[in-house]
Amino acid sequence: MRIYMQTRPQQDQALRYYQLLLQEDLLGGWSLVRQWGPIGSRGTMRKEHFQSMDEAQAALIWQRDRQLGRGYQVMFIQGD
């Protein structure tokens, strides 16, 4: 699953993005990859490991809701 979000356009600030990505690893665990920064830059990346898909999905939903509260809006969702 992938969620891509952006801030709303404002005259005095550059647009920013926040991306969430769930990936299964080779050992049966799951990783939540978060990437954020100004649009056009590589930004910052963080990866968290979880033992189950349910834990990883809960973390993804929590991060999504947190960023929505900070003014980001969902641009697209890919996957389940």
For the stretch 22-61, pLDDT in tens is 999 988 899 999 999 999 888 999 999 999 999 999 999 9
Model pLDDT, residue 14: 85
Kindly list the domain boundaries of the chain, sorted by start residue: 2-78
pLDDT band for 11, please (50, 70, 90 cuts).
confident
Global confidence as pTM:
0.89
Amino acid occupying residue 56: A
Are 20 and 33 in contact by the 8 Å Cβ rule? The answer is: yes
What is the architecture, at CATH level 2, of domain 2-78?
Answer: Single Sheet (2.20)
- Report d(CA 3, CA 13) in Å as an integer: 22
